[in-house]
């Protein structure tokens, strides 16, 4: 035993334990996010619990089982339960009962001892709605324009409404949005002319007629919208809730109706996939706690693309300078320290700098110079997608530099010398020989930078991200790309929905799903970068021989 200790073997095992813990935590974390995130989309069984409480009252609870936990009986002493003497723990179920118009809370804890019967009735339906969350219950009847009809018509009617909803959305977002945008530009145009003192009667009249034309157009669109609204609110679904109450749900609010207990594995899987697709392409509903995350994905991607455009040239040029041009002097050493520090400065400091320097100083000056007509409401002097992209470009600059430089340093110097010996200038060698060979390394750097930027939240909270952006930064109105707009971001969405939303408990599955999406994107990006780098290393090894 003593010699065993002296050999150091236990210590080696302990250090191996460090590796194991690290591995368990990484893989466990990924597994946790994946399982919690994916289960959000999986259609779960709908249960009906027949209950009897301590006073002997019967009741029925319908819903999905959300969570179970074991609790010591001592915590429930005040409930005066009739239990076996030796029982120490009890099982408690958290059931999502929905039906927000009947009860204020979506969830309910029930004690397993109170349950007399658990069933999964086939005709139990879950209605996903635009407002008020899910409704669980039995379909009582279907009303078409005031006339009761057979339930079999449900899919047909749902499809009809869905079509109209798409039309309404199109009308609201595209057409009416464009008119509002044009009206605002006209207002600014007239103000701008006033400021310059160039507003003549003719011009004013021109603007007035245009405004009037737009307003007329708006009226017609508004009428179309009203007509469509009338159409979608034609039919009703009458549902029977768990306490027998009848609730009328207008088709206007229905997204889909599912009989989860009737679905086989294959049906469930199809539904599962369609739920994932809906999550990715839909807009959020109910203060972000339901629906999809499309604007957040769009905002993240756009901001990251802008950032890439800014950071790539700077990062690559800086790396080339450091590796190909810089001499061994104090300046180079200083530059390297600068790169290390740019990588090490906390991201929130970049946010503070971006807010003060870019938003208030640069943006404020731009407003004074180019957008005086909009003042005092700021155009660029407020957080927006451009400033976010620039701030994150500074933040990710060292990532690109380090990766590119690593690639450059692996190119055998024989290649440079060969090129120079054949009479090429240094610039030509760089452009024709070095950069093409180093391009995968540059690619790696850019991908890593994108991965870093996609997950960064703290600085964005200061320079442009919002919980709910009314418009995407890219739309059909000239100049199409609106760099001054605020945007939504996946990472911030997680923080906001998970910690700032009014109904954290109900929103939690959505947060896990969003987290899963973000992690998938980032892990995929990183894996790609690493595999490119590894391939590159192999290739350089071959070059050397």
Q: Rounded to a whole number, what is the largest CA-CA distance in the chain?
A: 103
Query: Which one of 425, 432, 478, 481 is in contact with another protein (CB under 8 A)?
Result: 425
Q: Is 475 helix (H, G, I), strand (E, B) or coil?
A: coil
Non-local CB neighbours of 379 within 8 Å, separated by 6+ positions: 363, 366, 367, 370, 371, 484
Q: Which stretch binds another protein (CB under 8 A): 151-159, 173-181, 208-216, 332-340?
A: 332-340
> Please, which residue, 360 or 540, has the CB nearer to another protein?
360
Bond prior to 376 in cis (omega within 30° of 0):
yes
Query: Which one of 105, 334, 414, 481 is in contact with another protein (CB under 8 A)?
Result: 334
Chain positions 505 to 534 lying near another protein, rule: CB under 8 A, are 508, 511, 515, 518-519, 522-523, 526, 530
> Does the footprint of another protein cover residue 436 (CB under 8 A)?
no
> Please, which residue, 139 or 522, has the CB nearer to another protein?
522
H/E segment holding residue 411: none
Query: Which one of 161, 494, 506, 536 is in contact with another protein (CB under 8 A)?
Result: 494
Chain positions 450 to 479 lying near another protein, rule: CB under 8 A, are 451-452, 454-458, 461-462
> Please, which residue, 109 or 269, has the CB nearer to another protein?
109
User: CA 140 from chain center: how many Å?
Assistant: 37
Residue in 107, 6, 101, 194 with CA at minimum distance from that of residue 503:
107
Q: Is 62 helix (H, G, I), strand (E, B) or coil?
A: strand
> Does the footprint of another protein cover residue 7 (CB under 8 A)?
yes
Chain positions 256 to 285 lying near another protein, rule: CB under 8 A, are none
> Please, which residue, 277 or 317, has the CB nearer to another protein?
317
Chain positions 396 to 415 lying near another protein, rule: CB under 8 A, are 397, 401
Query: Which one of 341, 412, 538, 543 is in contact with another protein (CB under 8 A)?
Result: 341
> Does the footprint of another protein cover residue 72 (CB under 8 A)?
yes
Q: How many CB atoms lie within 10 A of CB 227?
A: 10
Bridge partners (DSSP) listed for residue 127: 135, 257
> Does the footprint of another protein cover residue 340 (CB under 8 A)?
yes
State the binding string over 169-208 for another protein (x if CB under 8 A, else -). ----------------------------------------
> Please, which residue, 199 or 342, has the CB nearer to another protein?
342
Rounded Cα distance between 62 and 102, Å, is 13
Q: Determine contact, residues 397/404, Cβ cutoff 8 Å.
A: no
Rounded Cα distance between 164 and 225, Å, is 10
Q: Determine contact, residues 36/512, Cβ cutoff 8 Å.
A: yes
> Does the footprint of another protein cover residue 24 (CB under 8 A)?
yes
Chain positions 368 to 397 lying near another protein, rule: CB under 8 A, are 394, 397
CB of 366 to another protein, least distance (A): 16
Q: Which stretch binds another protein (CB under 8 A): 176-184, 185-193, 206-214, 327-335?
A: 327-335
Count of residues near another protein by CB under 8 A = 97
> Does the footprint of another protein cover residue 142 (CB under 8 A)?
no
> Please, which residue, 291 or 364, has the CB nearer to another protein?
364
> Please, which residue, 344 or 479, has the CB nearer to another protein?
344
Q: How many CB atoms lie within 10 A of CB 230?
A: 11
> Does the footprint of another protein cover residue 309 (CB under 8 A)?
no
CB of 230 to another protein, least distance (A): 43
> Does the footprint of another protein cover residue 20 (CB under 8 A)?
yes
Q: How many CB atoms lie within 10 A of CB 360?
A: 16
Bond prior to 479 in cis (omega within 30° of 0):
yes
> Does the footprint of another protein cover residue 17 (CB under 8 A)?
yes
Non-local CB neighbours of 464 within 8 Å, separated by 6+ positions: 303, 383, 384, 385, 386, 387, 388, 486, 487
Chain positions 110 to 129 lying near another protein, rule: CB under 8 A, are none
> Does the footprint of another protein cover residue 314 (CB under 8 A)?
yes
User: CA 498 from chain center: how many Å?
Assistant: 12
Rounded Cα distance between 355 and 375, Å, is 19
Q: How many CB atoms lie within 10 A of CB 526?
A: 15
| DSSP character at residue 122 | T
Percentages (nearest 5) of helix, strand, coil residues in the chain: 65, 15, 20
> Please, which residue, 122 or 333, has the CB nearer to another protein?
333
CB of 308 to another protein, least distance (A): 17
> Please, which residue, 292 or 398, has the CB nearer to another protein?
398
> Does the footprint of another protein cover residue 246 (CB under 8 A)?
no
> Does the footprint of another protein cover residue 360 (CB under 8 A)?
yes
Query: Which one of 84, 369, 421, 427 is in contact with another protein (CB under 8 A)?
Result: 427
Q: Determine contact, residues 459/389, Cβ cutoff 8 Å.
A: no
> Does the footprint of another protein cover residue 81 (CB under 8 A)?
no
Query: Which one of 34, 345, 366, 472 is in contact with another protein (CB under 8 A)?
Result: 345
Taking CA atoms, 469 is separated from 90, 292, 502, in Å, by 46, 14, 18
> Does the footprint of another protein cover residue 92 (CB under 8 A)?
no
CB of 376 to another protein, least distance (A): 13
> Does the footprint of another protein cover residue 355 (CB under 8 A)?
yes
Q: Is 140 helix (H, G, I), strand (E, B) or coil?
A: strand
Q: Between vectors from CA 160 to CA 156 and to CA 164, what angle results, nearest 5°?
A: 170
> Please, which residue, 206 or 505, has the CB nearer to another protein?
505
Query: Which one of 320, 385, 488, 513 is in contact with another protein (CB under 8 A)?
Result: 320
Rounded Cα distance between 250 and 235, Å, is 6
Query: Which one of 161, 242, 254, 318 is in contact with another protein (CB under 8 A)?
Result: 318
Q: Between vectors from CA 292 to CA 289 and to CA 297, what angle results, nearest 5°?
A: 115
């Amino acid at each position: 035993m003593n010699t065993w200790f002296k050999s150091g073997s236990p210590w080696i095992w302990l250090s191996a334990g460090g590796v194991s813990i690290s591995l368990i935590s990484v893989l466990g974390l990924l597994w946790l996010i994946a399982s919690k995130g994916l289960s959000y989309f999986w259609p779960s069984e709908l249960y009906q619990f027949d209950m009897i409480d301590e006073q002997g009252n019967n009741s029925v609870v319908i819903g999905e089982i959300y969570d179970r936990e074991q609790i010591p009986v001592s915590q429930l002493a005040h409930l005066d339960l009739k239990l076996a003497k030796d029982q120490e723990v009890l099982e408690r179920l958290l059931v999502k009962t929905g039906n927000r118009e009947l009860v204020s809370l979506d969830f309910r804890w029930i004690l397993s001892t109170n349950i007399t019967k658990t069933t999964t009735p086939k005709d139990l339906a879950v209605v996903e709605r635009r407002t008020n969350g899910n409704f669980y219950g039995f379909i009582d009847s279907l009303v078409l324009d005031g006339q009761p009809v057979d339930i079999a018509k449900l899919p047909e009617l749902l499809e009809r409404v869905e079509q109209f909803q798409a039309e309404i959305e199109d009308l609201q977002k595209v057409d009416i949005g464009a008119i509002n945008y044009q009206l605002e530009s006209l207002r600014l145009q007239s103000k701008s002319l006033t400021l310059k003192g160039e507003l003549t009667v003719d011009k004013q009249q021109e603007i007035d007629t245009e405004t009037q034309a737009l307003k007329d157009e708006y009226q017609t669109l508004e009428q179309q919208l009203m007509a469509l609204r009338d159409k979608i609110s034609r039919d009703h679904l009458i549902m029977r809730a768990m306490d027998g109450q009848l609730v009328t749900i207008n088709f206007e609010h229905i997204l889909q109706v599912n009989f989860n207990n009737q679905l086989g594995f294959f049906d469930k899987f199809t539904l599962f996939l369609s739920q994932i697709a809906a999550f990715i392409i839909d807009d959020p509903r109910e203060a972000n706690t339901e629906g999809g995350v499309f604007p957040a994905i769009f905002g993240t991607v756009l901001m990251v693309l802008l950032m890439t455009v800014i950071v790539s040239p700077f990062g690559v040029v800086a790396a080339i300078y450091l590796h190909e041009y810089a001499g061994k002097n104090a300046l180079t050493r200083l530059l390297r320290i600068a790169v290390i520090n740019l990588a090490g400065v906390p991201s929130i400091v970049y946010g503070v700098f971006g807010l003060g320097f870019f938003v208030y100083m640069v943006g404020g000056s731009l407003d004074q110079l180019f957008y005086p007509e909009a003042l005092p409401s700021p155009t660029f002097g407020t957080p927006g997608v451009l400033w976010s992209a620039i701030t994150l470009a500074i933040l990710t600059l060292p990532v690109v530099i380090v990766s590119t430089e690593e690639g450059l340093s692996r190119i055998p110097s024989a290649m440079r010398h060969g090129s120079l010996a054949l009479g090429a200038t240094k610039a030509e060698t760089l452009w024709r020989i070095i950069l093409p060979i180093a391009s995968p390394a540059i690619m790696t750097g850019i991908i890593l930078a994108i991965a870093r930027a996609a997950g960064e939240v703290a600085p964005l909270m200061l320079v442009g991200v919002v919980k709910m952006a009314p418009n995407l930064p890219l739309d059909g109105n000239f100049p199409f790309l609106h760099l001054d707009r605020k945007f939504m971001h996946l990472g911030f969405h997680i923080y906001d929905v998970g910690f700032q939303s009014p109904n954290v408990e109900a929103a939690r599955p959505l947060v896990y799903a969003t987290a899963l999406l973000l992690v998938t994107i980032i892990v995929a990006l990183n894996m790609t970068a690493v595999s490119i780098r590894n391939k590159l290393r192999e290739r350089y090894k071959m070059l050397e021989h």
